């Protein structure tokens, strides 16, 4: 498992609720959280997926995720 970080446009509890089924429903996502207090709305994901695969999951939920270091 690797912890990946993304800058996102997830900005509220409703947005978190929208992405929850996509991330919780994926067997390769161990744990995740969005820091709604940060300016970049940082999403941290513990996963065996590649950054591109996580970005695709977030895109399916209707949001944008940009990999950060």
For the stretch 17-58, pLDDT in tens is: 999 999 999 999 999 999 999 999 999 999 999 999 999 999
Question: What contacts 60, CB < 8 A, 6 or more positions away?
Answer: 22
* Topology at the third CATH level for domain 2-68: Alpha-Beta Plaits (3.30.70)
What is the model's pLDDT at position 19? 97
- Residue 20's alpha-carbon distances to 6, 26, 38, 69, in angstroms, are 15, 10, 19, 23
3-state class (DSSP) for residue 7: strand
């Amino acid at each position: 498992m690797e912890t990946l970080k993304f800058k996102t446009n997830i900005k509220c509890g409703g947005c978190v609720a929208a992405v929850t089924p996509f991330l919780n429903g994926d067997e390769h996502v161990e744990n995740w959280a969005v820091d709604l207090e940060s300016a970049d709305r940082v999403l941290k994901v513990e996963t065996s997926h590649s950054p591109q695969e996580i970005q695709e999951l977030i895109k399916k939920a209707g949001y944008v995720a940009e990999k950060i270091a």
